[in-house]
Amino acid sequence: MNGAGRGLILCADDYALHPLVDEAVLRLAEAGRLSATSCMTTAPGWRAAAPRLLPLRARLQLGLHFNLTESHGGACEARALGPLLAAAYLRRLAPARVQDAWRAQLDAFEDAIGAPPDYVDGHQHVHQLPGVRAAMLAELRRRYGAQNLPWVRSTAPAGALWRDPKAGVIALLGGWTTTRRLRRAGLAMNQGFGGVYGFDAPSPEAYGAHMRAWLAQMGEGGLIMCHPASAEVEGDAIGRQRPVEFAYLMSDAFAQDLRQLGCRVLQKRLK
């Protein structure tokens, strides 16, 4: 969906989490409805799902969706978000173990894709937590040097979106601080963030109302996250919401909303 208007990054999170998520991401990308997808390299299905992304690399940015909270049924070491937040803010995370997790997940990405990620972010935004963000910067610099660093997702809300309680909490739990530190470190990042809501939109039309509010606040280079799947993902905390998002994003209503609000979905690299 290139053309006139403010260029925005629409990013589908959780690629490789489930085949229904993968199907939705691929269909949206082929339709020109996505800019990027964030990949869960800890998921058991990652190695099988990764090759399907390769034909789309010219127009779809591929990122690492760093994971510390999703166990995938025991496929990786993880802890619930609450205890992780407590450990991070009490400075009880073991730096070596966190950096090992970054190293292993980046290795898995590169092994499957054959190249570094275009960007990195975090499942449940864990990349912005104290201790985790320091390990991220250290590992990125170790691997890629100063000249070839991936860009990093900022969760600092665009415009007035910080007034949404959930968006404000995410920003307070590292979004604003991490954005300032990334800027000082010279790393590229998106310019504003949206897509935060309670995963409670009962219909594509209701989700569209959220999208219009996000689009209205976005400037050039802003990022909106989404979590689509082609059908309900059983056992997933937001499994019922995923097909609602997918239906709207594939619809003519989404294309019309973009035009009316002067926006377009970017399909080129941020770097």
At 2, is the pLDDT very low, low, confident or very high (cuts 50, 70, 90)? Answer: low
3-state secondary structure of 79: coil
**Looking at the 3D structure of the chain, how many domains does it have?**
1
Query: What average pLDDT does this structure show over 118-139?
Result: 97
Phi, psi of 16 (to 5 degrees): 85, -5
C-alpha–C-alpha distance, residues 112 and 64, integer Å:
12
Confidence at residue 271, expressed as pLDDT on a 0 to 100 scale:
59
Dist. CA 126–CA 74, nearest whole Å: 19
Q: Is the pLDDT of residue 270 over 90?
A: no
In the structure, what pLDDT confidence band is assigned to residue 72 with cuts at 50, 70 and 90? Answer: confident
Residue 239 inside a domain? The answer is yes
Residue 151 forms part of a structural domain: yes
Higher-pLDDT residue of 146 and 214 is 214
Identify the band that residue 146 occupies on the pLDDT scale cut at 50, 70 and 90: confident
250 domain-assigned: yes
Cβ-contact 249, 228 below 8 angstroms? yes
**Distance (Å) of CA 41 to CA 60, 122, 202:** 17, 12, 30
Amino acid, res. 120: V
Q: Taking 60 as the threshold, does the pLDDT of residue 223 lie above it? A: yes
- Determine the residue type at 143: R
The beta-carbon contacts of 136-144 under 8 Å, at least 24 apart in sequence, are 136/66, 136/102, 137/181, 137/185, 137/187, 138/99, 139/99, 139/102, 139/103, 139/106, 140/187, 143/106, 143/116, 144/116
Instruction: Specify the higher pLDDT residue, 72 or 208.
Output: 208
Residue 238's alpha-carbon distances to 14, 228, 243, 244, in angstroms, are 12, 10, 10, 10
Report if residue 270 sits inside a domain: no
The whole-number pLDDT of residue 76 equals 61
Residue 271 belongs to a domain: no
Residue that is written with structure tokens 């968006």 in the block: 167
pLDDT at 269 over 70: no
Residue 73 binned pLDDT confidence (cut-offs 50, 70, 90) = low
Q: Region 198-202: what's the mean pLDDT? A: 97
Q: What is the pLDDT averaged over residues 92-105?
A: 96
Exposure on the CB side of residue 89, measured as CA atoms within 13 A: 8
Mean pLDDT computed over 185-199: 97
Evaluate if residue 107 carries a pLDDT over 70.
Answer: yes
Q: Is the pLDDT of residue 59 over 60?
A: yes
Q: List the structure tokens of 33.
A: 């409805």
CATH number, residue 23:
3.20.20.370
Q: Which domain holds residue 176?
A: 6-265
Residue 32 CB neighbour total at 10 angstroms:
15
Task: Note whether residue 108 is domain-resident.
Answer: yes
* 225-259 pLDDT, tens digit each: 999 999 999 999 999 999 999 999 999 999 999 99
Residue-level pLDDT at 3:
60
Give me the half-sphere count of Cα atoms (radius 13 Å) on the Cβ side of residue 25: 29
Chain segment 171-188, per-residue pLDDT in tens: 999 999 999 999 999 999
Torsion, Cα 79 85 89 92, to 10 degrees, reads: -10
> In this predicted structure, what is the pLDDT of residue 78?
80
For 89, counting Cβ atoms within 10 Å of its Cβ (0-12 exposed, 13-18 middle, 19+ buried), the class is middle
Q: What is the pLDDT of residue 180?
A: 97
Confidence of residue 4 (pLDDT cuts 50, 70, 90): confident
Main-chain dihedrals φ then ψ at residue 52, nearest 5 degrees: -70, -15
Flag whether 137 is in a domain. Answer: yes
Is residue 1, in this structure, part of any structural domain at all?
no
